[in-house]
Chains A and B, each alone.
Chain A
Amino acid sequence: MNWNSPSEFFAMGGHGLYVWGSYGVTALLMLVEPWLAARRRRNALRDAASAEVWKEFD
C-alpha cells in the first residue's frame, strides 16, 4: 500500500496540486462531454418532433 492515511493520499508527496489538477479537469471534461452529447440528441429529437407536428397542418 502506498499511503498510510487519507491526508497522505491527497498530498501526493507535495505534488497534490499537479496530480489532482490533472485528474480533476480530465474527469470533469469526461463527464460534461457525454452530458452535452445526450442533450444534443434530446434537442434534435424535440426539433424533429415539432417539425412533425407542423407537417400535419400542411
Chain B
Amino acid sequence: MTAGMRLFNFAAPSRFYTLTGTLAPWLWVLTAALSVVGLYMGFFVAPVDATQGNAYRIIFIHVPAAWMSMVLYLAMAFWAAIGWAFRARMASMLARALAPTGAMFTFVALWTGALWGKPAWGAWWVWDARLTSELILLFLYLGYIALVEAIDDPRRADQAGALLSVVGAVNIPVIYFSVRWWNTLHQGATISMTAAPKMAATMLTAMLILTLAFWAYSFAVVFMRVRAIVIERERHTAWVADLVRAGKGAGA
C-alpha cells in the first residue's frame, strides 16, 4: 500500500507534465480563435449602446476578467486544500500555478473597471462594496504568492498558502453578492439565471465568446506555469534527469 502510494506520488507530476505539454498548444489555438471571433463580434457586430455610447464595449473584457478572477481563486483554494489534506504535491503545484493568472485577471477587472467608471460614473474609483472587495481579492492573491515564496520548505509553504487561500475564499461570495447586499454604485449582475438578459443578443454573444477565450487562455497559461513548477520541484528525480538528457538532443 505504502509502496503503491509512493509510486503514485512519484508518477503523477511526470504524467501531468506530459499531458499538459500535449494540451497547451491546442489551448493556445483555441484561445486565439475565440479571441478573434469575440473581438469581431464585440466591435463590428454588437451595436452602439443607446445610453453609454461606445465606452460600454469595455464590458466584453471587464465582465469575463472579473468572472475569471473569482473562478481562478476558487480553483486555487480548492487545489491548495486538496494538496494540504491529501498531501498531493501536484495539487499544491497547481494552486501555485493558478495564483499569478488569477492576480492578472483581478488587475484587469480593476483596470478596465476604472477606465469604464470614468466615462460612466465620472470617477475612476469609488470605495464601493464591489470595487473594494475586488481590490481585497487582488491583495489575497498577492499575499498568497508572497507567502508561498517566502517559506523555503516547499511543503510548509504549500500548507501556509492553503490556509491563507481557504480562509480568503470567504471574500468570493462577498464580491459576488456585494451588489445585492449593499447599495452600490456598481451595477447588478450582468447575467442572471432567473431573469431575461438585459443586453442585446449580439452583445451577450460577444461577451460569452470572450469568456470562453479567457477560460482557454487560463488553462493554457496555467498549464505552462505548472510545467515550470514541476521541473523546479522535481529536479532531483530520475524522470526529470531523463527528460533533461533526452532534451539535450531534441532542444527540450
**By the criterion CB–CB under 8 Å, are A45 and B231 in contact?**
yes
Nearest chain B CB to A21 CB, angstrom units: 5
Contacts of B92 in A (CB 8 A): none
B58 near A51 with CB under 8 A, answer no
Total contacting residues, chain B, CB less than 8 A? 45
Q: Which of B1-52 contact A (CB under 8 A)?
A: 28, 43-44, 46-48
Quick one: which of B98-135 are within 8 Å of A by CB? 100-101, 104, 107-108, 111-112, 115-116, 118-119
Chain A residues whose C-beta falls within 8 Å of the C-beta of B116 in the assembled complex? 18, 22
Residue of B nearest to A9 (CB): B43
The reply on B65 being an interface residue by CB < 8 A is yes
* Total count of chain A residues near the partner, CB < 8 A: 34
A 1-30 to B, binary, CB cutoff 8 A, 1 in contact else 0: 111000001001111011101110110011
When A2-B43, A18-B119, A29-B108 are in contact, do A41 and B53 touch as well, CB less than 8 Å?
no
A38, B57: Cβ atoms closer than 8 Å: no
Query: Does chain A have a CB within 8 A of B62?
Result: yes
B244 touches A2 (CB 8 A): no
